[in-house]
């Protein structure tokens, strides 16, 4: 599992470095300034929810009854403790929430589908440390940290599941391009590696899973 995670992290790092070069190139003729003291991100997210049998089976569902995608929000920030015009280091955190639902599909000759409406929710609070490449007008980064997250899958014809938080490693990268002094366009691609959750009272339990979330939105400095 660990080599796979490191491989993914290396790919993200390479992509982030490429973004850094692309972002910095147009501003080559401008004065390079250090990163700001802090930045705040407000982004929309699109996670890839788990749908395989380890999640659907214990809930009495088939894999195609689970929603595969669900929109959400990502709100966070970074404080840059060590700043230069090329490489800077920061610490911060991000809160992620997303929700997806899927209704039963109607078969031929039926007006409504037969089966439950299924809702998947994911939420997590993730501390992070970041390495940043670039300057005040545009920079890319790689970051990661250890936090906790909760994944629940509920069907509308059964009692609501009690979600149990589990330790989660997050890692990924992204970039910010400032169009104005205090407003930027930002993107982030992140992986959330969740530990397994044991079944218990009011909870079905979840196997180990790494979930991918793409985020895009605005940043403020």
Count of C-beta atoms within a 10 Å radius of residue 62: 11
Return the bridge partners of 154, or none: 119
Out of 16-25, 165-174, 203-212, give the one with best mean pLDDT: 165-174
pLDDT digits (tens, 9 = 90+) for 93-135: 999 999 999 988 766 656 666 789 999 999 999 999 999 999 9
pLDDT in the model for residue 199: 85
pLDDT digits (tens, 9 = 90+) for 128-154: 999 999 999 999 999 999 999 999 999
End-to-end CA distance of the chain, in Å? Answer: 37
Say if 6 falls within a structural domain. Answer: yes
Q: Token pair of 152, please?
A: 């629940």
pLDDT in the model for residue 104: 85
At residue 53, the 3 state secondary structure works out as helix
* 28 pLDDT higher than 70: no
How many Å apart are CA 85 and CA 31, to the nearest integer?
A: 10
Say how many domains are in the chain: 1
How many Å apart are CA 208 and CA 1, to the nearest integer?
A: 10
Q: CATH number of the domain that 121 lies in?
A: 2.40.160.20
Q: What is the pTM of this model?
A: 0.81
Domain that holds residue 199: 2-27+40-103+115-220
Say if 32 falls within a structural domain. Answer: no
């Amino acid at each position: 599992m660990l080599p796979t995670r490191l491989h993914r992290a290396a790919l993200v790092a390479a992509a982030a470095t490429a973004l850094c070069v692309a972002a910095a190139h147009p501003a080559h003729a401008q004065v390079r300034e250090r990163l700001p003291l802090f930045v705040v991100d407000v982004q929309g997210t699109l996670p890839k929810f788990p749908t395989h049998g380890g999640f659907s089976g214990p809930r009495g569902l088939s894999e195609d009854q689970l929603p595969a995608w669900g929109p959400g929000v990502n709100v966070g920030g970074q404080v840059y403790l060590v700043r230069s015009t090329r490489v800077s280091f920061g610490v911060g955190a991000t809160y992620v929430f997303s929700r997806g639902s899927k209704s039963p599909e109607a078969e031929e000759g039926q007006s409504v589908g037969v089966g439950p409406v299924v809702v998947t929710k994911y939420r997590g609070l993730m501390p992070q440390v970041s390495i940043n490449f670039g300057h005040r007008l545009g920079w890319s980064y790689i970051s990661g940290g250890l936090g906790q997250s909760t994944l629940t899958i509920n069907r509308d014809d059964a009692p609501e599941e009690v979600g149990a938080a589990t330790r989660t490693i997050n890692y990924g990268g992204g970039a910010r391009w400032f169009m104005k002094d205090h407003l930027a366009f930002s993107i982030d691609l992140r992986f959330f590696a969740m530990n397994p959750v044991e079944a218990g009272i009011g909870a079905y339990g979840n196997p180990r899973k790494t979930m991918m979330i793409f985020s895009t939105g605005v940043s403020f400095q």
